[in-house]
Amino acid sequence: MLVIRGELLKKYPTAVIFAQHALWARKPDGSIDLSQARLLDQPTAAEEQNPPRSKIRSPLYEAKADPDIYFFGFDLTIEEAKGQTGENPNDDAGWFFVIKERPGEPRFGLELSRSGDLKVFDQLTWDDALPGGAAGQFLTAGSLSSVGLATVTDPNDPELQQNADDRTVAAAAVSSARWAYLLFRAPVLVAVHADEMLA
């Protein structure tokens, strides 16, 4: 049973909640690397339309207790959800509980803060658009007409391809399409492993 209490599902009532199998991070020799966080066991391209129960499980039932407590029942035992220790090479890695913004329901806006260089538009903040501006101000059409994106060249950087795409749009003339591209926020996915929740 997954229990969620608070404003999250009031703010995002269409969020998708499911369990996803975990995988161990592995060393080059194939042994389990316990110094690394577990990974999500992603469905293959052929499995995406109908993911196997060995990788994705939806709640069997849901319930709500007013005002803000939600219950989601999964076909998993505590032992299955937590997984094994990883001391043996065949130990199961357990399961993540995932809360995901529903694809197809776009969200637009800017981030409140950022650490490090601006690599992609998804990291744009209100300070980028209104340097020193007061809260509650409107963005003018000329805001973000020039965006200084850092150049990403590291082939191992996960932002490499998105940075290249965003740099093309950064040079485009101000338009409604450019504004939509700049303000579009990628859907958020939060995954917490059951071992972190269960004592």
Residue 197 forms part of a structural domain: no
Q: Dig out the tokens for 142 from the structure.
A: 């000329």
Residue 196 forms part of a structural domain: no
89 CB neighbour count, 10 Å cutoff: 10
* Statement to judge: residues 47 and 9 lie in one domain: yes
* Statement to judge: residues 112 and 99 lie in one domain: no
Total number of domains constituting the chain: 2
- Identify the pLDDT of residue 21: 98
Q: What is the pTM of this model?
A: 0.75
Residue 198 forms part of a structural domain: no
Residue 157 forms part of a structural domain: yes
Give Cα separations from 193 to 2, 19, 65 (angstroms): 12, 9, 24
Residue type, 46: A
Sign of the C-alpha dihedral, residues 116, 117, 122, 127?
A: positive
Residue type, 8: L
Instruction: Choose the final residue of a domain: 64, 86, 104.
Output: 104
Instruction: Choose the final residue of a domain: 69, 88, 104.
Output: 104
176: domain range? 107-185
* Statement to judge: residues 8 and 75 lie in one domain: yes
* Statement to judge: residues 12 and 86 lie in one domain: yes
Report d(CA 16, CA 98) in Å as an integer.
Answer: 8
* Statement to judge: residues 15 and 87 lie in one domain: yes
Instruction: Choose the final residue of a domain: 81, 104, 127.
Output: 104
Residue 192 forms part of a structural domain: no
- Identify the pLDDT of residue 135: 61
* Statement to judge: residues 99 and 12 lie in one domain: yes
Report d(CA 190, CA 192) in Å as an integer.
Answer: 7
Q: At what angle do helices 176-183 and 160-170 cross, to 10 degrees?
A: 150
- Identify the pLDDT of residue 134: 64
- Identify the pLDDT of residue 142: 84
The stretches in the chain having pLDDT less than 50 are none
Report d(CA 71, CA 156) in Å as an integer.
Answer: 39
Residue 195 forms part of a structural domain: no
- Identify the pLDDT of residue 102: 86
